[in-house]
Amino acid sequence: MTDVPLSTLTTMQVGGPARELITVTTREQLIEAAVDTWDSNEPWLILGGGSNTIVADEGFDGTVIHVATTGIERQQDISRSPNHSTVRVAAGENWDNLVAWSISEGLAGIEALSGIPGSTGAAPIQNIGAYGQELSSVLTAVEFLDRYTQEISWIPAADLALGYRDSVFKQGKEGVVLTVELSLASYGDNLSAPIAFPQLASALGVELGAQVALAEVRETVLKLRASKGMVLDPADPDTTSAGSFFINPIVTENFARNLPADAPRFPVQSTQQDRVLPLGAEVPPLASVDAGPNLVKLSAAWLIENAGVKKGYSIPGSKAGISTKHTLAITNRGGATAAEVVGLATYVQAMVQSHFGIILYPEPNLIGVEI
């Protein structure tokens, strides 16, 4: 297909046409489409659920491979324990459908990741996480087609440089994820993994570390996410977004002490290098480092709101706006352009930098646009 508007394939609903769009529904089609496109030496883009992608209004002058492969396979993980199962999932499988399936199977480990939009193949790229769970804790390997060697191999999770919203794929490793392999636990009585996030524990009415019914965790997480406009819903305009638009910044504990006392901060043990920069300084490249307990994660939503950008804010004349439910989401209020989305994101970034000296980095993949 030619000249297909990518706005129809992204949750933000912005983006011009792709010169060519190829939708693949099987692993074999995905491999063939990728190899043929690479051999042509033309620009290429892999697109899954489109939930974490902002495409320029001019579109993409190349081939977009839309991954719509499906399939979930389960087998007992004897090497780990009789209570664990290995689950292999096609890259195009809807992530939330996978979570729902795991709960129906009595498997724990991803129940707190309910409601996250997008495809399963994209999950390792971002190392998705929410409410005390992170993909890296259950991911064992990915099946990967390498861009340059065109060889297919299983890459262990330990070799993927998984960090906070980061992986080897975001650091330059090119190719296509074909299959994702997880190790999920069965605790009996359809119980969840131990609850590890205070807000979720509070919503469930339990102590941290407690285990509750898997279905109850999913229902509670979906309600929490919906209250923030973070569950896709055609009836809720706040969900026409790319989810969280900025990554929660990691700063030194010393730097955090200069922030107001009510600024949320969470200790971290391993993350990327300190991203707090003096005003006007050059931005250093991202690099993985071992981090001690002197680093803390801040709330980007708190920084945005306390920099003066309130829920529902919009630049006059723009159809892009801050969500009315959560300051971390930029929404398309109907007919917004990619330029308007980027303009608002740039404004938010500038306000936070001027108030707190912190540069916020966008979480979505930016195609043909810069912030």
Minimal CA–CA distance to 162: which of 126, 138, 110? 126
Sign for the pseudo-dihedral over CA of 226, 242, 303, 111: positive
Residue 136 burial by Cβ neighbours in a 10 Å radius (0-12, 13-18, 19+):
middle
Instruction: Please tell me the chain's helix, strand, coil percentages from 3-state DSSP, rounded to the nearest 5.
Output: 25, 30, 45
Does the annotation count 363 as an active-site position? yes
What the block records as the tokens of 29 is 């089609």
What the block records as the tokens of 271 is 């993350």
Marked catalytic residue, from 105, 216, 219, 363 = 363
- Residue that has been written with the tokens 């001019």 in this structure: 58
Marked catalytic residue, from 165, 218, 225, 340 = 165
Residues in the chain: 371
Using left for φ > 0, alpha for ψ between -120 and 50, and beta otherwise, residue 267 falls in beta
Does the annotation count 218 as an active-site position? no
Our measurement of the distance from residue 59's CA atom to the centroid of its chain's CA atoms, rounded to an integer in Å, reads 22
- Residue 181 carries which side chain, given as an amino acid letter? E
Q: What does DSSP assign to residue 170?
A: T
Marked catalytic residue, from 7, 85, 244, 323 = 244
Largest pairwise CA distance in the chain? 60
3-state secondary structure of 273: coil
Does the annotation count 219 as an active-site position? no
Q: How many CB atoms lie within 10 A of CB 185?
A: 19
What the block records as the tokens of 35 is 């190899």
Distance CA 253, CA 255 (A): 5
Q: What angle do CA 137, 226, 266 make, to 5 degrees?
A: 45
Q: Which residues pair with 22 in a beta bridge?
A: 65
The 152-156 sheet, strands edge to edge: 72-76, 84-90, 175-185, 139-146, 152-156
Under 8 Å between Cβ of 306 and 313: no
- The catalytic residue positions are 165, 244, 363
